[in-house]
Amino acid sequence: MGTQDKTGNRNNDAGISIGPDATIGDKVRALRLSKKMTMADLARTSGLSDRAIRYIETNQRKPSIDAIKRLSAALGVATTFFMEDILFQEEMDKEAFLEQASKKYGSKGKAQAAAILDQTQTLYSGGELTDEDKEMFRNEMMAIFWDSKDKARKFTPKKFLED
C-alpha cells in the first residue's frame, strides 16, 4: 500500500506517480526516488552538483537544456519525459541564440538578446498563433536582432569585434 506525499501524489510500491501538472523538478525527484537514488547519487551520475539537483527538485531553478540532457541520461529516460519535443527544441534554439549573442557582444548583448526573446514570448502568449507561426515570428525577431547589431557595429567595443 502506498503513502501520500505532501503534494498529494501517491507513492506506490511500484513507483511514484506524478500528476499532470508536475514540474521538471517534481519529475526528477519522482524518478530519482523510484530508482532509490540519493541526490548525491544523481549528482555523481549526472555530473551536476548536489546543490543544482536540490534547486531543480525544489523548483527553485529551472534546469538548462544541458542539465535536462544529463538528468535524462542519468535517470534512463528520454528528454521528452521532462519536456515535449517542440519545447525542448525551442529551449535549445534559445540557448544557442543567447550563447552566440554573448560571444559576439558580451554580457550586454546577451541580456539584450534575452530581452528580445522574452518580449517576443509575451507578444504571442495567450494568442491563437500556431506553433509554426510562433517559430517563424521568433526567428524573424532573432534575425532583426542580428541585423540591428550589425548596423550598430561601430558602437560595439573592439574586444567583441571579429577581425
Phi-psi category of 139—alpha, beta or left, where left has phi over 0 and alpha has psi -120 to 50? Answer: alpha
d(CA 151, CA 146): 9
pLDDT tens by residue, 99-145: 999 998 899 999 999 998 888 878 777 778 787 888 888 888 889 99
Whether the CB-CB separation of 46 and 35 falls below 8 Å is answered with no
pLDDT tens by residue, 7-27: 333 333 334 567 778 889 999
Enter the pTM of the model: 0.61
The answer as to CATH 3.40.50.150 being correct for domain 3-81 is no
- Candidates 145, 149, 135; CA nearest to 114 is 145
Whole-number percent of the chain with pLDDT over 90: 40
CB atoms within 10 A of CB 146: 14
- Written as one letter, the residue type at 118 is D
Residue range(s) occupied by CATH 1.10.260.40 in the chain: 3-81
